[in-house]
Amino acid sequence: MNLNNEIDVDQAVQIMKKGGLKATKQRLALLELLFVNKDFYQTLADLTKQMRVQFAKMSNETVYRNIKELEQLQIVETRLFDNGIRAKFQCDFNNTKHAHFICETCGRIIEIQQPDISPILAQLPGYIIEQEHFELIGKCAVCQAK
């Protein structure tokens, strides 16, 4: 399910510039890499390996720092999986409160409408919610058929 309002690299670059980040060759290449693989969360190690094809001296720290900066601007989404932090291009800048189905076999991500969590929040009076992540994890139809 595509909830529309998908953004592209040009829109991400504009948000990045408004947020005070320069559009360096490395950042643009990282954005492009994330955009091309926008249906999957990628490990930071995989991103670094792919970035080193263009930028031989690219370090893990540089990729991590850039991912964190892009995440603060809501250009990138990150999640902590069993094997570390993974990142993906933000699929919808106009609707950052959406949910995902993640196939644990192939890694494909399907964007879904986030359910109303206000009944859950009502059980937490006085608490401050800083982030919401709603994800369903399982096997997609293609992987089940294999």
14 and 74 belong to one structural domain: yes
Residue 40: beta bridge partners? 108
> Over the stretch 32-79, which tens digit does the pLDDT of each residue have?
999 888 888 888 999 999 999 999 999 999 999 999 999 999 888 887
Q: Look at residue 1 and tell me if it is in a domain.
A: no
51 and 112 belong to one structural domain: no
Q: Look at residue 20 and tell me if it is in a domain.
A: yes
In order of 6, 11, 40, 54, 116, the CA distances from 108 in angstroms are 17, 23, 5, 26, 24
Q: Is 140 annotated to bind ligand?
A: yes
Q: Is 91 annotated to bind ligand?
A: no
77 and 19 belong to one structural domain: yes
Q: Is 106 annotated to bind ligand?
A: yes
pTM: 0.70
> Over the stretch 36-45, which tens digit does the pLDDT of each residue have?
888 888 889 9
Q: Is 103 annotated to bind ligand?
A: yes
Q: Which domain range does residue 22 map to?
A: 9-89
d(CA 13, CA 57): 23
116 and 75 belong to one structural domain: no
d(CA 135, CA 31): 23
Instruction: Give how many domains the chain has, as a whole number.
Output: 2
Cα 126 to chain centroid, rounded: 29
What CATH number is associated with residue 67? 1.10.10.10
What CATH number is associated with residue 140? 3.30.1490.190
